[in-house]
Chains A and B, each alone.
Chain A
């Protein structure tokens, strides 16, 4: 199935100075962005997306994928060095990572993070390369009815993402649903929910939304924190930072091998979290960490063990390749970054979908090769960069915030040379800030924003094809029926879990009252 000429062509495209240089730049930028708390790879990719229009496709993919993979790893640098996760997905690395630093094993922790990330990433990138083309063949069987249930399944998984507060997660999802409906209806192009504003008739774009909800919101939050806790903030920061000296012991191979189980857990869970639309690196990290803890309670993960770092970092980096599988096989972006990579492909005239493999084989193979190359570059550059970026993360907020805000405004504008996008980014910055204050998770909003319009399109189309008959539109094929049952089972499972949690909590309340 692998076409020799196209594979060779792909290699030639990737191993050119241009592509490799851009990939390396992407990795460096990504690690830096990941390491700095408040910045994360998604808005960085969003900012870089318009630039890729003038670049060749392999270079564009190298840059964006480099930023993404570098970013996921980069978050661990500040998580380990000063207990502040650089990215959401590095949150699971803090617990063991920082304790290791305090015990004088910071260098080991940083290296473990790097090696676990790279190992898991390599494994799942290979998985992506093997799986995607095979899935693409199966994908043709997914018509509008089947796709509808896939989206429903993904949206149902939101229950897993809501963290502590189910209701808050659902509210965020509802917000995302509404924002997703702003604009033109996907079938007959009639504007709706545009508040009478003509510039909203095409809806809200992903890039200004991400820039606003993440970059701008975080800068608003950090600035307001800094203003409110002016003195104590700088003091806390100094106390937290422990210098990781190069005279510390490096990681030994035996220690690396000892954590194979945790890395395997991370790889497996991460691949799963990556493939399923709607989950992502954060879920991968926390889920892997949780599973590793459950499976080996005797190892004491959470008290400052390398195993904890291995599980968390393997878990988040493992999602990088698989998150593209739904995009490559079905043309459906499974998450924010995949959606943006899909956008970069579209800019170059490549429509994502099951026929990409026959229509643009060389380009897709070059994407696969870049997945591996970017990973290798992260390995090569990762450790030396960690020293640099752990210090940069200390940049004073009065310097960091204006720069990030300026870049955000520029990026939002550059996306479509549309000044209304800047306004939207600012507006969503405020929304994101309020959501963070209310401890409302943002991930469900993004997911419904992305998936609901696609689900609507599929539903409408399925109904059109079946002449308005709901039963054939929804359950017309065996595949559709199985997916529908899976969705129902998942919702039931999540609901049961919530029910038991509520019972446990109320039981605890009752016990507390009885005891008091």
Chain B
């Protein structure tokens, strides 16, 4: 009697799974069969929003479905992230991110979102954060900065958004220097205070560095690679931390989906996005924005994400 019930149960389970499998497989084969949602957890009109709109448009050409950009700013990125997690894990909702929402989520002890609550599809771009100082001040070269920081531990003030400051913090920690990190909601506010002499240094994006022209001098490149030729042409030679034996920090624009999304769907999204970035029209629009495409496939991107997570864990405490 037992055996028969078990056998029936197993048979039933087998039949059920067998009927479900075609449905499952069909869902994967047909992906995508309806509109996609692209979540932007940053403010409307900002760099991430612009990136998203350009790439989303290119992506919808590639996959033949609409890609709707949803701006959901707030709480440092946590609001958009929560929205992503509330959607089904079917790959129809993706989110663009950077170090900022990761920091926001990791600095809040009681956060309902864990930094591991995402599966990385790939990375679209990256940039080197630049540390800027007032020309003629006591901080306009790395040697001067080091001298000051060694003589006055904890007095050097460095301003920037959380993700930018983190890049500087990781280098300072590696160099054994103690600095005072001042968080700002935006790069522009940090630069204003630096230009007014209220803080010593500001950490900014390459675009901002270039736009400052003569008003500020770039003293250090804290990114994971030396500045490109184009950037060096605009900014001049900027010392790279890699040449000094320190590890810079990447600032990737990553694309993520719900952590329970099947790997096959993630692979399809990766392929579609890669094709989008390689498409001439999209590439041109990105270049026109003054931005660079630095693509990383899923495994590399996942590693980069892990590296940033580790950097945050290690260096965020030095910033607080």
List the interface of chain A (C-beta within 8 A of B).
Answer: 53, 140-145, 183-184, 186-191, 198-199, 201-202, 331, 346-349, 351, 353-355, 358-359, 416-417, 457, 461, 464-465, 467
Contacts and interface: CB of A to CB of B under 8 A. Distances in A.
B182 A465 contact: yes
A355 B191 contact: yes
B45 A353 contact: no
Contacts of B180: 464-465, 467
B195 A355 contact: yes
A294 to B, nearest CB: 41
5 contacts: A140-B192, A349-B50, A353-B188, A359-B211, A461-B182
Interface in B62-118: 70-71, 73-76, 78-79, 82, 104, 107-108, 112
Contacts of B182: 461, 464-465
A191 B75 contact: yes
B196 interface: yes
B75 A142 contact: no
Nearest to B76: A189
Contacts of B108: 189-191
Contacts of A189: 75-76, 104, 107-108, 162
Question: Does more than half of chain A's interface fall in helix, strand or loop, or is it mixed?
Answer: loop
Given A202-B79, A465-B180, A465-B199, A53 B107 contact: no
A25 B192 CA distance: 36
Contacts of A187: 183
B189 A198 contact: no
A351 B155 CA distance: 29
B285 interface: no
B193 interface: yes
Contact of B45 (A141, A346, A417, A464): A346
A349 B45 contact: yes
A500 B298 CA distance: 73
B157 A140 contact: no
Nearest to B112: A198
Contact of B157 (A145, A191, A353, A465): A465
Nearest to B187: A351
A130 B182 CA distance: 34
B182 to A, nearest CB: 5
Contacts of B193: 143-144
Given A189-B107, A353-B189, A355-B191, A201 B45 contact: no
Contacts of A416: 71, 73
Contact of A186 (B44, B157, B185): B185
Contacts of B320: 188
Contacts, number: 84
Max chain B Cβ within 10 angstroms of own Cβ: one of A53, A143, A183, A186: A143
B45 A143 contact: no
B107 A188 contact: yes
A460 to B, nearest CB: 9
Interface of B: 43-46, 50, 70-71, 73-76, 78-79, 82, 104, 107-108, 112, 154-155, 157, 162, 180, 182-186, 188-189, 191-193, 195-199, 211, 215, 320
A331 B192 contact: yes
A142 B198 CA distance: 9
Contacts of A465: 157, 180, 182, 198-199
B64 to A, nearest CB: 25
B185 to A, nearest CB: 7
A300 B299 CA distance: 83
Contacts of B162: 189
Given A142-B196, A464-B182, A184 B188 contact: no
B97 to A, nearest CB: 15
B195 A140 contact: yes
Nearest to B195: A140
A498 to B, nearest CB: 36
Contact of B188 (A145, A198, A355): A355
Nearest to A476: B198
Nearest to B157: A465
A355 B204 CA distance: 15
Contacts of A354: 192
A183 B182 CA distance: 20
Contacts of B198: 143-145, 465
A140 B199 CA distance: 12
Nearest to A194: B75
Contacts of B45: 53, 346-349
Nearest to A50: B44
Contacts of A464: 180, 182
Contact of B74 (A201, A331, A346): A201
B75 A201 contact: yes
A331 B195 CA distance: 15
Contacts of B155: 467
Nearest to A477: B198
Given A140-B195, A355-B191, A202 B75 contact: yes
Contacts of A457: 185
Nearest to B103: A189
Nearest to A186: B185
Nearest to A355: B192
B46 A190 contact: no
A467 B182 CA distance: 10
Contacts of B79: 198-199, 201-202
Contacts of B82: 198
B183 A188 contact: yes
Contacts of B196: 140-143
Given A184-B75, A189-B162, A191-B75, 18 more contacts: A53-B45, A143-B193, A143-B197, A143-B198, A184-B74, A186-B185, A188-B320, A189-B75, A189-B104, A191-B108, A199-B79, A346-B43, A349-B50, A351-B189, A353-B189, A355-B188, A457-B185, A465-B157
Nearest to A345: B45
A141 B193 CA distance: 9
Ranked nearest first, the 9 interchain pairs of A and B with the lowest CB-CB distance are A143-B198, A202-B74, A140-B196, A201-B75, A351-B188, A189-B76, A347-B45, A349-B45, A464-B182
B30 to A, nearest CB: 29
A364 to B, nearest CB: 15
Contacts of A467: 154-155, 180
A144 B157 CA distance: 13
A359 B112 CA distance: 40
B236 to A, nearest CB: 20
A355 B79 CA distance: 30
A185 to B, nearest CB: 11
Nearest to B181: A464
B154 A349 contact: no
A110 B196 CA distance: 48
Contacts of B46: 349
Given A189-B104, A201-B75, A201-B79, A351 B195 contact: no
A37 B197 CA distance: 49
Contacts of B211: 359
A357 to B, nearest CB: 12
A135 to B, nearest CB: 14
Nearest to B188: A351
A456 to B, nearest CB: 12
B291 to A, nearest CB: 14
B319 to A, nearest CB: 10
A95 B266 CA distance: 70
